[in-house]
Amino acid sequence: MLARKSIIPEEYVLARIAAENLRKPRVRPSVRKARFIAKNGACNVAHKNIREQGRFLQDVFTTLVDLKWRHTLVIFTMSFLCSWLLFAMMWWLVAFAHGDMDIQDGVQQHAPCVTQVTSFTTAFLFSIEVQVTIGFGGRMMTEQCLLAISVLIMQNIVGLIINAVMLGCIFMKTAQSHRRAETLIFSRHAVIAVRNGKLCFMFRVGDLRKSMIISASVRIQVVRKTVTPEGEVIPIHQIDIPVENSMESNNIFLVAPLIICHVIDKRSPLYDISETDLLTHNLEVIVLLEGVVETTGITTQARTSYIAEEILWGYRFVSIVTEEDGVYSVDYSKFGNTVKVVAPHCSARELDEKPSILIQTLQKSELSHQNSLRKRNSMRRNNSMRKSNSMRRNNLGLIVPKVQFMSPEQSKCSAET
């Protein structure tokens, strides 16, 4: 507007706009890395171009259990409705073939196969009564038709099969193992720190329920993209890494949150990775917790993963278990809290080749700790001295001067002197 009215030259406006655009930081949206396992344990894999769809129908029960609830309920309702309609049609055909539809003056000419079945609606109601075993008493079979007896037996068998399959499917969906895994939690971040003189990869796992997981075991895998010497590219290369466990059975007693530790040694795929290399490596650490649910006896599995951005170097988990009145108390509000600790920035290989790096790091940390203590003590002394000086000044200000009263004779003497 100002440039059009010739109040400000157009060249100045263009230069100003160019300068403002240069000052604005250009932030490029970061590319989100694909992860094999999501934080909630869901597998981040999309199956496409599956040609043999008929294989899913060969295992109908598992397919029904894997369906979503809305699809399962629709199939549950439609299976009963279709069976009722199918057998209603069969009962209507039986009555029609036997001549039960021929009614003159409101009276049937002969004994019917099924009493009071004179239309498709009554046949449908009779089909429901037979399959659900309601038995209102108005419609019933007679011994006139062997075909009707065979239809009755067939409908009872089909109804029992539908009940067994659908009720079993709904029970399995409500008692699925991944429901129990919702209360098995993992720490948001994993840490790498020194434990017992070695670099260790650690994370925390806990169970929110009082019912325990029997024979619980933890497995760790590293998933990354690798290239073989022959040039073959393996996009998802899974490598098992051992877990440090003092028990021979390799099971954990998950009565309280535990810190699972993996010692980074020569067998570990993290052996050559330093703190600076960690952010450049495209790796993912998958954690699997498996066990048997104590209440149901069903095997369950909880999963999570840690990418490079979620691994903290030089941190340690804070303690959350305390003893209060003879009972161990767990504070889950601090479940994922970490604290900064001293750790070498080199890889585990360099630490094994040069053990002096760890000693120098610990010495530096001790010196820094001593210096910090000295600074704190000096600050405390200065603060105490300042407080004492201020108190003295306040006390001097509060001192009241003494006033001496003299009689008239004493004042005359003092004046003569």
303 and 348 both lie in a single domain: yes
83 and 119 both lie in a single domain: yes
Amino acid code (one letter) for 7: I
| 347 domain-assigned | yes
Cα distances (Å, whole numbers) of residue 148 to 127, 128, 154, 353, 360: 12, 15, 10, 89, 94
Give me the pLDDT at residue 2, please: 43
Cα distances (Å, whole numbers) of residue 108 to 67, 114, 137, 143, 272: 50, 12, 19, 16, 94
89 pLDDT above the threshold of 90: yes
| 372 domain-assigned | no
Query: Which residues, other chains included, contact 292 with Cβ-Cβ below 8 Å and sequence gap of 6+?
Result: 213, 214, 215, 298, 299, 300
208 and 350 both lie in a single domain: yes
158 and 197 both lie in a single domain: no
371 pLDDT above the threshold of 60: no
| 229 domain-assigned | yes
Amino acid code (one letter) for 213: I
| 369 domain-assigned | no
Q: Tens of pLDDT along 201-246?
A: 999 999 888 888 888 888 898 888 888 888 888 888 888 888 876 5
125 and 222 both lie in a single domain: no
Boundary (domain end) residue, out of 357, 386, 402: 357
In whole numbers, what is the pLDDT of the chain averaged over residues? 78
> Residue 287: what are its φ and ψ, rounded to 5°?
-115, 130
Burial 76-88 (b: 16+ CB within 10 A, else e): beeebeebbeebb
Of 100-104, 137-141, 290-294, the range with the lowest mean pLDDT is: 100-104
154 and 246 both lie in a single domain: no
* Sign of CA pseudo-dihedral 273, 276, 281, 285: positive
8 Å CB contact between 16 and 2: no
195 and 321 both lie in a single domain: yes
191 and 143 both lie in a single domain: no
Measured between alpha carbons, how far is 38 from 48 in angstroms, rounded to an integer? 19
User: Residue 263's domain is classified under what CATH number?
Assistant: 2.60.40.1400
Q: Tell me which residue range forms the domain holding 147.
A: 67-174
Q: What is the mean pLDDT of residues 305-313?
A: 90
User: Residue 137's domain is classified under what CATH number?
Assistant: 1.10.287.70
Q: Tens of pLDDT along 124-166?
A: 988 988 888 877 777 877 787 888 888 989 999 999 999 998 8
Q: Tens of pLDDT along 328-352?
A: 888 899 998 999 888 888 888 888 8
Return the HEC string of 133-178. Answer: CCCCCCCCECCCCHHHHHHHHHHHHHHHHHHHHHHHHHHHHHCCHH
Number of domains in the chain: 2
| 144 domain-assigned | yes
212 and 351 both lie in a single domain: yes
Give me the pLDDT at residue 27, please: 44
| 376 domain-assigned | no
Measured between alpha carbons, how far is 90 from 347 in angstroms, rounded to an integer? 78
CB atoms within 10 A of CB 366: 11
4 pLDDT above the threshold of 50: no
Give me the pLDDT at residue 202, please: 92
Q: Which pLDDT band holds residue 80 (cuts at 50, 70, 90)?
A: very high
Q: Is 313 exposed, middle or buried (0-12, 13-18, 19+ CB in 10 A)?
A: middle
232 and 131 both lie in a single domain: no
254 and 118 both lie in a single domain: no
403 token code pair: 């006033």
Give me the pLDDT at residue 380, please: 73
143 and 205 both lie in a single domain: no
